[in-house]
Copies of this chain bind each other. A is one copy, B any other.
Amino acid sequence: MSVNAGHSLTLTGPDRLVETAPEVLAAFAADRGPVLDYAEPLAVVWPTSVRGVQEVMRWASATGTAVVPRGAGTGVSGGAHATGGCIVLCLDRMNRILELNAQDEIAVVEPGVINADLNAAAAPHGLMYAPDPASYRISTIGGNVATNAGGLRCAKYGVTRDSVLALEVVLADGSLISTGHRTFKGVAGYDLTGLFTGSEGTLGIIVSITVRLRYLPVAVRTIAAFFPDFPTAAAGVLAVGAARVQPAIMELLDGATLDALDGTHGSNLRTRGNALLLIQTDGFGADAEAGVVRRVLAGLGGTVSTEGSAEAGRLVELRRHSRGDATAHEFRVGEDVAVPRSALVRYVAELERMAERHRVRLRVVAHAGDGNLHPTFWVQAADDGARKRLDAALDESITVALSLGGTITGEHGIGQFKLRWLPQEQRAEVLELQRRVKAVFDPGGILNPGKAIPGGGPANPAGPR
């Protein structure tokens, strides 16, 4: 193939796969994030080896071609959206677990390994890979690292960064470097592993990941508590904290989310309360912790599931999938702000006021243990007026989250979609430092331009289209 004047990319051997068929280009034009500026790639490339990735990057460097790395394409911020004149570099066929060392409690994986597959491989050893984004059954570890993905278990087990020990990375010029260490601790040099984690493919192509595994808990207990209103449920979050219990999972669902689940699954959750708090404790203290949690939540007036309730566990599974239940005629945008825990109640009250003022619908789920909220705004029809109202609500939700000491993205990343809000959170000097850090790794600006940090790519339009 030849996608740029002068040079042609001809992958050799097993890395041969380069696709330019129109249906392939269309299929890989976007991830699951809102599309601001639709563009199709010049080609989609599937290397199956580090060498193949190096070959692609050398070609891209020589031709000045932008490269958009992509795992499973499950991101929701547009970090893997194609940009004009780019190639999409798919890493999902580099999907081998290279090593799983139960004594050292580590695994070394290629970037395309599916999160759930690593967990399946670790489980017989009594181990797990802790970071569990809602997409864990379909998303890749490489994508998880690129976005520093969170998940449900973060409050106790940390985010992706906290499980990544070492990386191998192909830089823009095709050179291969190693960062980090196989040991749990290590402070030699700067934390380049942390710098690459969450950099959304803008600094290098991650081709190998060494992760720390954790112990599969000996016991898991799940508590479901329905509350008459959201503020009381949110007070439950703080009360559990005040009882010094650190749950593995602490999810908060508002009434509209219960409605949506009822609509999809034929359940009757909403008849039982206007907010639901789902808490999982795990480990040797799971029973004792669950006992404290039940007592605390009942004391606040919650309707608390009985010990060993099977329904509570099922509700957690429902919750894991509660963002994928839109109907075809809705237009909706999910948000990912985080606020300090004590601001949860106030922030959700503000969201409700915004929804009313801008005449958009709202539902909210939150990883309440770490103050990370996923409000979803939606409108029934996608006419221009409705989209403008939606946009206005989104903008306001960001401004208010920041005013409460929050951040615009707890775990989904900036990608392309949230770039317009980043300057509200980070001052110009800090953005400029990041641009200069990127230039160290990618002087030609070919790695995922226009993502993660402003500059180095196409201009960022004002809102979703």
Q: Which residues of A contact B (CB under 8 A)?
A: 101, 103-106, 126, 147-148, 150, 154-155, 158-159, 161-162, 175, 177-179, 181-192, 194-195, 197-199, 203, 214-216, 218, 238, 241-242, 244-246, 283-286, 288-289, 292, 338-342, 367, 369-372, 405-414, 418, 422, 425-427, 429-431, 433-434, 436-438, 440-441, 452-453
The answer to whether A407 touches B188 (Cβ under 8 A) is yes
The answer to whether A433 touches B440 (Cβ under 8 A) is yes
In angstroms, how far is the closest chain B Cβ from the Cβ of A102?
Answer: 8
Q: Which residue of B lies closest to A214 (CB)?
A: B246
The answer to whether B452 touches A189 (Cβ under 8 A) is yes
Q: Which of A162, A245, A341 has the most CB of B within 10 A?
A: A341
The answer to whether B430 touches A441 (Cβ under 8 A) is no
Cα(A49)–Cα(B363), bound, Å: 45
Q: List 10 A-B contacts (CB under 8 A).
A: A105-B341, A158-B158, A159-B185, A177-B427, A179-B430, A187-B414, A188-B407, A189-B414, A215-B241, A284-B288
In angstroms, how far is the closest chain B Cβ from the Cβ of A186?
Answer: 4
The answer to whether A188 touches B427 (Cβ under 8 A) is no
Cα(A341)–Cα(B453), bound, Å: 38
Additional 15 contacts, C-beta under 8 A, given A186-B338, A192-B430, A218-B244: A105-B341, A158-B162, A177-B427, A182-B406, A183-B339, A183-B370, A183-B372, A183-B406, A187-B411, A188-B425, A191-B194, A191-B198, A192-B433, A215-B245, A436-B440
Chain B residues with CB below 8 A from A215, complex form: 241, 244-246
The answer to whether A426 touches B185 (Cβ under 8 A) is no
Cα(A288)–Cα(B288), bound, Å: 11
The answer to whether A187 touches B412 (Cβ under 8 A) is yes
Q: Which residue of B lies closest to A147 (CB)?
A: B187
The answer to whether B188 touches A154 (Cβ under 8 A) is no
Chain B residues with CB below 8 A from A437, complex form: 190, 437, 440
A192-B433, A338-B181, A440-B437 known; A407-B186 Cβ under 8 A = yes
In angstroms, how far is the closest chain B Cβ from the Cβ of A426?
Answer: 6
Chain B residues with CB below 8 A from A433, complex form: 177, 192, 440-441
The answer to whether A189 touches B426 (Cβ under 8 A) is yes
Cα(A422)–Cα(B369), bound, Å: 39
The answer to whether A103 touches B342 (Cβ under 8 A) is yes
Cα(A242)–Cα(B216), bound, Å: 11
Chain B residues with CB below 8 A from A340, complex form: 101, 103-104, 106, 182-183
The answer to whether B103 touches A241 (Cβ under 8 A) is yes
In angstroms, how far is the closest chain B Cβ from the Cβ of A422?
Answer: 6
